Amino acid sequence: MQIRDASALVAAKRQPVFNQKCLDGTWQLRNSTGEHLLDAQVPGEVHTALLAAGIIEDPYFGDRWIEYKWIFRDSWTYSREFEVDDKLFGSDKILLVCHGLDTVADVSVNGTLVGRANNQFRRWVYDIKAAVRHGTNTIAVSFRNASDYGTELAAKYPYPVPEAMNIETQQGEPCAFSWDWGKQCRYQFLVRSNRPTNEYIYMRVPKFPSLLGPAFVPQGIWKCVELVGFTASAWVKDVVPIITRESQEWVVKVRVFAQADGDVKGSVAASVAGFKAEIRMDLVEGENVGQVEIRVPYEKVERWWPTGYGTPHLYDLKVAYQQHLSDENVKWVIHKTTKRIGFRTAHLVQEPYPDQAEPGESFYFEVNEMPIFAKGSNVIPADAFESRVNIDAWKRRHLPIQRFLCHLRRARVIGLAGVYVRVRPAPDQHGVPRQRTRGGVRQHPPPRAPPVYRAVVGQQRERGVYREGMVSGDPVESIHVHGRLSYPIPPSDPPDSTGGRPITVPHLKLPIKRRRLQGQPVARAFGDVHYYNYKDLGTDVSKFLRPRFASEYGFQSVPTLSTLQTIDNAKDQDWSGEWLRRRNHAPDGMNTIAAMVQKYFSLPGKSDAIARLDHFSYLSQIVQALIYQAQTEHYRRLRGDPEAMQRHLAGAGNWKILHSFAKKFFAPILVSSVEDPRDGSYEVHVVNDTQDELDVEVDVAVYSYTTSALVRRATFRPKIIPPLSSSRVYRAETLLELFDNPAAPYTDRLILLAARNTREPWGANVIASNVHYPAYFAQDVRLRNPGVRVTNVWDVPAGQQQQEKVVVTGRQKTFRIAVVADDAIALFVFLETANDLPVVFGDNGFVLLKGETREVEVVVSESHVATRSAALACNGAGVRVVGFEKVDVEAVRARIRIRSVYDAIF
């Protein structure tokens, strides 16, 4: 039997023909008045075209997001000419395929309207056979203001539709949403009109907690456009694998979605791990779905495991659709693809706890029949303008950081709405499964929502309501509403509603009667919770919840001054100034941060506004890190609670001081101490997140701030810590039992903890360390000036780095710096560089004892330098980044800055 490529066919009457023509490249762009007429690249957005043409400057810089609101309030038209040759024109079917239109658009070919669009996240397919002509043709895609369009639809809705953001208090726009520092972009907005035909608009909700974010409502052709022509053939739109286990076999179901212009004879062939299958798949005119199954013996492949549980094995799945010609022995391969897949089972376990005094059910995940503690973080959008994102480069840069540096097992793709399909949640090579979350919020009830759902959906600030759709892995998609409820995508949605991929619904919904239990939020007993408490001390363990699953918690902080200066000259800025108030989209956000900082520190009293902002941002990052650390360690300690054996967390974090803290509080082995303000008791726990038994002793050292001296050392007897568990190793009725003198003030004591593996030689057996602060620094803590300084900087030869080379791809340079505290104990030692030299530090925010020297790695990557250089080149900040080739020891030494908390509060 012969299998030929399409190029080998000889033209004949009714010979199967398939053609594709890409329309990406240079288009013309004009606004409604014709004032602006310019070239524009597709894929792209109006903002990126205007930026490239020099009509606007970097929209992220300063208050340009306000100055440039005229862009999204106008209507814009993309147009271009394209040629149709004899071969394409002779096709029986000619389709115009728009893979991404943002958002409300009319599409015309040669002046004839061929279709409309109102969904950014689906692929739009238009039959243009009747409109196209031989030779030169024109295409026009006319966008209108999506914000106004959404407001019009909201007016037609039978229920009140709350705004995504309060325009006055959150500096928002209709149909826009952002959290805190988020680049505020598209709100996923869904409206059903009163007319018989449902009318919707789907738009995105990127959120960027790590950046100061302006508000945008982009327009444009953000994905590729192509022509597809075929005669007596078919267009294979999508290939979707679904892997399940049946007894001692893995079943790989490969679904093929195809569109044909008539009867087509063909077959689907697939292979993986040396096993093959082929089925007949004859097509009829219109939409077709076929499925081929490959059965793989269970023992013939290695399973995929999350981080810390094994190797994330992946295999190549090869799929081809072969059209059978008139001679059945000749097959024409019209589509072939290769996908990376992993073999694993994944289940959400919800089972009753019959012996609990508190009623409820478990809520945890099993992967390969093993309970998984779901440590994780959010994956946030990389740019407000999606066409600028190189998703492959993004994944190479960031997912290894999650996997290797922060020990994460889960990534929640959030804020992207439909865009998240580009970061697929199938098993990945780093052992980080991903859960997709559409947008995080919604403006109003979706169609077919039950009355109780409508009643709570508008209560954005309500905490603890059960969420119905959290699961990791394919094939699950759900919509989270106001961060509290999630509504499964209706199974009746057409297969093409998200670009041709079928949508399956997670069956995780609870009966309505379980939503509330004796007037208390039911999520604590049955499911997942969010916990944000901005009124009380953020590290007060007595206020923390004891849930089954905690997916969101924490606090926001202000970026460092060097970061702020890349988006604003910041010549006259203060932490309480108007500019930062506008940039923080949380209502009264800056005052909320300040109120929490004051619970821990005295606010900086510097006379210079820039110095106040500099130190305020530093203190806010310390507070943020402490709050995340306290809550994360609380949830991890609960792993040893007999009434909470399967509690999990998936906290979100920003890459600030918190980044370095996360490496430690997410580490596989954790030593954690907690003081309960309710009774004054003090406990030390060891969490073993490995698959090996540990024989551990814990060393506790108590230091005096006043003298910088060690005043007491205690060692708690060795204890066996089973795999995947948490154990308490020490408990005291009061913390004073640890002090050298019961009369010693809390404000003059610091506690350092170290867990040692007694099966390893002394000196090389510290497997975890931590710090406990008996008093915070808004009190009369007796700090002295530690005199922190950098003593040396030197090159690190290739192959001698302390941390794995996972921070970046491409070339990088590694340096090592030595820092010392000459005169006293230094707390929260913070290293940074000027914004003309972007680096990654191996550690930050640490404690230095008097006279102690610590070495910290500094990594400079070529790709990071290039990204920062491109960002600063167009924003008017006047900063020129040091070229990668010029980065050397002297360049690093000249740009390193070091400080401790003493510098900020005294």
Say if CB 74 and CB 218 are below 8 A apart: no
747-759: average pLDDT: 93
Q: Please give the structure tokens belonging to residue 772.
A: 């406990």
What pLDDT, on the 0 to 100 scale, is given for residue 355? 55
Return the CA Rg of the chain: 29
User: Token match 């692929």: residue?
Assistant: 123
Q: How far is CA 685 from CA 463, 670, 677, in A?
A: 29, 8, 17
Q: Tell me what pLDDT residue 659 has.
A: 84
What is the percent of the chain where pLDDT is above 90? 43
| Amino acid 871: pLDDT | 66
Quick check: 448 pLDDT over 70?
no
Residues 785-807: tens digit of each pLDDT: 999 999 999 998 876 666 544 44
pLDDT value of position 381: 67
pLDDT score of 855 more than 90: yes
Whether the pLDDT of residue 478 is over 60: the answer is no
Count Cβ atoms within 10 A of the Cβ of residue 8 and give its class: 0-12 exposed, 13-18 middle, 19 or more buried. Answer: exposed
* CB neighbours of residue 299 within 10 Å: 7
Residue 286 CB coordination number (10 Å): 10
pLDDT of residue 409: 56
At 876 the pLDDT is 58
Encoded amino acid at 348, one letter: L
pLDDT at 436: 42
The 10s digit of each residue's pLDDT in 290-344 is 999 999 999 999 999 988 888 889 999 999 999 988 666 778 888 899 999 999 9
pLDDT tens figures, 158-214:
777 655 444 444 454 544 433 344 433 333 333 322 233 334 454 544 333 333 456
Q: Which amino acid is at 790?
A: V
CA atoms of 253 and 407, how far apart (whole Å):
32
Reported as type and span, the H/E element at residue 685 is strand 682-688
**Over the range 719-728, which residues count as b (16 or more CB within 10 Å of their CB) and which as e?**
bebeebbbbe
- Please state which of the four CATH numbers 3.50.30, 2.60.40, 3.30.70, 1.20.950 is assigned to the domain occupying 788-899: 2.60.40
In this prediction, residue 408 has a pLDDT band, given cuts at 50, 70 and 90, of low
Closest CA to 201 of 187, 215, 214: 187
How many CB atoms neighbour CB 26 within 10 A? 11
pLDDT of residue 641: 55
At residue 711, the pLDDT reads 94
pTM of the model as a whole: 0.82
* Contacts for 66 with CB less than 8 Å, ≥ 6 apart: 214, 582
Model confidence at 497: pLDDT above 50: no
Token pair for 304: 């995929």
Q: Has residue 612 got a pLDDT over 80?
A: yes
Give all strands (DSSP E) within 548-591, no chain letters.
549-553
- What pLDDT sits at residue 547? 81
Task: Compute the distance between CA of residue 813 and CA of residue 797 in angstroms, rounded to an integer.
Answer: 9
Which burial class, exposed, middle or buried, applies to 556 when counting CB atoms under 10 A from its CB (0-12, 13-18, 19+)? Answer: buried
> Residue 562 contacts by C-beta under 8 Å, 6 or more apart in sequence?
832, 833, 834, 835
What burial letters (b/e) apply to 173-182, b meaning 16+ CB within 10 Å?
bbbbbbbbbb
Confidence of residue 348 (pLDDT cuts 50, 70, 90): confident
Which tens digits make up the pLDDT trace of 680-715? 999 999 999 888 999 999 999 999 999 999 999 999
Instruction: Show Cβ contacts of residue 565 under 8 Å, excluding neighbours closer than 6 positions.
Output: 835, 877, 879
Q: Residue 32: its pLDDT value, please?
A: 95
Q: Check if the beta carbon of residue 294 is closer than 8 Å to that of residue 274.
A: no
The mean pLDDT value for 518-545 works out to 76
CATH 3.40.50.11540 fits 232-344, yes or no: no
CB 102, CB 218: distance < 8 Å: yes
SS3 544: coil
Cα distance between residue 568 and residue 578, in whole Å = 13
Q: Which of 140-149, 481-490, 807-816 has the highest mean pLDDT?
A: 140-149
Average pLDDT over residues 107-119: 96
Burial state string for 154-168 with b = 16 or more CB within 10 A and e = fewer than 16: beebeeebbbbbeee
Mean pLDDT lowest for which of 407-411, 816-820, 877-881?
Answer: 407-411
Rounded Cα distance between 43 and 31, Å, is 18
Cα 253 to chain centroid, rounded = 29
Question: pLDDT confidence of 407, banded at 50, 70, 90?
Answer: low
Between 249-253, 775-779, 891-895, the lowest mean confidence (pLDDT) is in 775-779
> In 794-900, which ranges are continuous DSSP H helix?
862-873, 889-895
- Asked, colleague to colleague, whether 12-225 and 232-344 share their fold, the answer is no
- pLDDT computed for residue 213 by the predictor: 59
CA nearest to 17, candidates 238, 260, 226: 260
Q: What is the mean pLDDT of the chain?
A: 76
**pLDDT at residue 791 in the model:** 97
In one-letter notation, the amino acid at residue 367 is: V
Q: Which amino acid is at 590?
A: M
Output the six-digit token pair for 481: 């509403």
Percent above pLDDT 70 for the chain = 71
Local structure of 613: helix, strand or coil: helix
Q: Scanning the structure block, which residue is given the tokens 């030595």?
A: 818
What span, in angstroms and rounded, lies between the C-alpha atoms of 821 and 709? 13
How would you list the strands of the sheet with 266-272, edge to edge? 2-5, 330-341, 315-324, 266-272, 275-280
Per 3-state DSSP, the chain is made up of helix, strand and coil in percentages (nearest 5) of 20, 35, 45
CA distance 783 to 785: 7
Q: 438: pLDDT confidence band, cut at 50, 70 and 90?
A: very low
Contact by Cβ (8 Å): 399, 430: yes
Which CATH architecture fits 12-225? Sandwich (2.60)
> 444 vs 120, which has greater pLDDT?
120
Pairwise pLDDT comparison (740 vs 457), residue with the higher score = 740
* Residue 874: per-residue pLDDT: 60
Give domain limits for the chain.
12-225, 232-344, 668-782, 788-899
* Distance (Å) of CA 107 to CA 36, 801, 820: 20, 55, 65
Model confidence at 507: pLDDT above 80: no
Angle of helix 589-598 relative to helix 609-637, nearest 10 degrees, comes to 70
Torsional class of 310: left (φ above 0), alpha (ψ -120 to 50), beta (otherwise)? left
Least confident of 152-161, 180-189, 268-277, 588-597: 180-189
pLDDT surpassing 60 at residue 449? no
Which residues sit opposite 858 in a β-bridge? 815, 841
Q: How confident is the model over 506-524, as a mean pLDDT?
A: 39
**What is the C-alpha to C-alpha distance for residues 288 and 497, in angstroms, rounded to an integer?**
15
Q: What pLDDT score does 458 carry?
A: 24
Q: Residue 288 corresponds to which tokens in the numbers above?
A: 């077709």
β-strand pairing of 549-553 with 648-649: parallel
**Span 403-409, mean pLDDT?**
55
pLDDT value for 343: 95
The pLDDT of 615-624, averaged and rounded, is 94
Length of the chain: 906
Q: Which tens digit of pLDDT belongs to each residue from 754-770?
A: 999 988 876 568 999 99
Contact 466, 522 (CB under 8 A): yes
CA distances from 139 to 28, 105, 187, 581 (A): 10, 13, 29, 44
Lowest mean pLDDT among 420-434, 772-786, 814-828: 420-434
pLDDT at 146: 84
Average pLDDT (30-40) is 96
CATH architecture of 668-782: Sandwich (2.60)
The candidate with the shortest Cα–Cα distance to 425, out of 557, 552, 241, is: 241
Average pLDDT over residues 532-558: 88
> Helices H, strands E: what count in the chain?
16, 50
Q: Is the peptide bond before 43 cis (omega within 30 degrees of 0)?
A: yes
Most confident of 24-28, 142-146, 578-582, 779-783: 24-28
The number of C-alpha atoms within 13 Å of 747 and in the hemisphere containing its C-beta is 10
